[in-house]
Amino acid sequence: MANFPQDRFDDVPTDLVRVGAHRAPRKKGRGWIGFAWAAVATVLLTALGLVGLAAINNNINFDLPFFQAGETPTPTPTPTPTANPTLDPSVPLTILNGTPVVGLANQVGDALVAQGWEGAQQGVGSRANASTSDIDETVVYYSDPSLEGAARGLVLALGVGEIRLSTDFPGSQITVVIGADYKPAG
């Protein structure tokens, strides 16, 4: 290696903190600050990505305490007001036998007349066989919401069945379809 004579540029002052034209020596611990910022950014971006996925796709559920994706509070059902069972002898009844038992519509009609349902009398309403004889459950159909109490009273009088609001039986205010679950009294 060649030896050059010393000049004024070889004497560096001791109080000079710059090295080269633009750089100062690095301070100790400076590398950890950059690493910490990178770690915080990674965790934050990962968390935001997971929350975004949970919001977009309802199949992804992370059960995070601060974010529940896709869950909405279940509304409390309000009870539907129901009419009290009543006996309304003025309402004409149609009684249909949906079982293979012959004459069951007449038997049920006679039992209802004995209980005070004059609308079940022959000529006021009607008694017939249903279009099919394999109906399992007894149903009382009523055509107007004001007849719900009378329909409930018929279910009590029969001892079996359920009520349904329906306009499937035109010309009849209340239609009783006797099913296989009906057991005659006595």
Cα atoms in the 13 Å half-sphere on the side-chain side of 7: 3
User: Who's near 157: CB < 8 A, 6+ residues apart?
Assistant: 87, 111, 112, 115, 117
3 state SS of 48: helix
Query: In this predicted model, what pLDDT tens digit does every residue of 84-111 receive, in sequence order?
Result: 888 878 888 899 999 999 999 889 888 8
Q: What is the 8-class DSSP label of residue 96?
A: E
Q: How far apart are CA 15 and CA 150, in angstroms?
A: 107
Query: In this predicted model, what pLDDT tens digit does every residue of 103-141 receive, in sequence order?
Result: 998 898 888 888 888 765 554 568 888 888 889 999 999
Of 3.30.70.890, 3.40.50.1370, 3.30.70.2390, 3.40.50.300, the CATH number of 93-178 is 3.30.70.2390
- Which is it for the CA torsion 139, 145, 150, 152, positive or negative? positive
The domain locations on the chain are 29-73, 93-178
